[in-house]
Amino acid sequence: MNPKQIKYSILDLALVSEGQTLKQTFNNALKLAQQAERFGYKRFWLAEHHNAENIGSSATSVLIGYVAQGTKTIHVGSGGIMLPNHSPLIIAEQFGTLGALYPNRIDLGLGRAPGTDRETAEAIRSDFMQAAHSFPNEVNKIQTFFSSKNEDAKVRATVAEGVEVPVYILGSSTDSAHLAAKKGLPYAFASHFATTHLWDAITIYRNEFQRSEILEKPYVMAGVNIIIADTDEEAERLATSLIRMVVGIFTGRRAKVQPPTDMTEDLRDIMRNPQVHQMLKYSFIGSKSKVKAQVKEFLEQTKADELIAVTHLYDINDRIRSYKLFAEIMDELN
């Protein structure tokens, strides 16, 4: 379909399903990454979230190390580290250590959102809002700490200097598009939930992009929700877990991921709700043939260089099956 090879990757939240322990959750994340490596995925990213009963990726860098240790070739990283929650020095030390342990396999995706509610953000860091406004400067600090030229500075992240850990800028609005373009960094947009600003954000990024030592031309990564099963009906049934997750987001009741049920008219009504419909706009749910047509259209419209698949399902085996079929779709489209 395209003269370029479009990479495909996974964004994982280490979902905690009803009846599952945290140890099982983390083992499942590793199992999924190992299978993704077999299927040809480029990278396996974990997202930083806090105070959410259904998300286990709070200690993101720790979990990245666990997954990297259990895999061999796939890139493992953050999608992303919410930088205003942290000291740039500490993040540089953590990811410098990871980069030394797993050479050329660790990615550092950086975002400016808290990854949680306001009260929790303030509990993490009382000056969160100030740090969020300083995001461009905080990214600069990260890059400085990774530079071998920083060896004469008074403040150093010695375990990071000269270590190859590429930086990616994440966005869910247009703000970070300007920053990614100005710095000549790859840009990953969270279109799997923040659908409203996708087109404006990638247009800004491409129009304002400045060549850098890292990139000669823009590199756009876009998130999409993917649920694939053998039939449209089975995929819809599996998607009922996702629908209930979304309801939990809007109601503030984030319970553990619930088992799927038959699709009911009530659930269809929820899907038709304007807010829910907008949030799940780039959700491709169905059989392989149905999703392939949707993915092809999305790629033709966005001209994305890489797709990041997000599959929120209750059962790890259903998730692995869906990711396997998505890999087949991407290989066929390439």
pLDDT tens figures, 268-290: 999 999 999 999 999 999 999 99
State the alpha helices, DSSP H only, in the chain.
22-39, 60-69, 88-101, 118-124, 128-133, 135-146, 175-183, 198-208, 232-251, 265-272, 274-279, 288-302, 316-333
The pLDDT tens digits for 45-79 are 999 999 999 999 999 999 999 999 999 999 999 99
Q: What is the pLDDT of residue 72?
A: 98
Angle between helices 265-272 and 232-251 (to 10 degrees): 60
What number does CATH give the domain 7-231+287-333? 3.20.20.30
> Is the previous residue joined to 80 through a cis bond, with omega within 30 degrees of 0?
yes
The pLDDT tens digits for 133-177 are 899 999 999 999 999 999 999 999 999 999 999 999 999 999 999
The pLDDT tens digits for 224-264 are 999 999 999 999 999 999 999 998 888 877 789 999 999 99
pTM of the model: 0.96
pLDDT-derived band of residue 125, with 50, 70 and 90 as boundaries? confident
For residue 27, give Cα distances in angstroms to 23, 24, 122: 6, 5, 31
Q: What is the pLDDT of residue 166?
A: 98
Please provide the DSSP assignment of 201-266 as one string: HHHHHHHH----SS-SS--EEEEEEEEE-SSHHHHHHHHHHHHHHHHHHHHT--PPBPPP----HH
Q: Is the pLDDT of residue 196 over 50?
A: yes
- Phi, psi (5° rounding) for residue 222? -130, 135
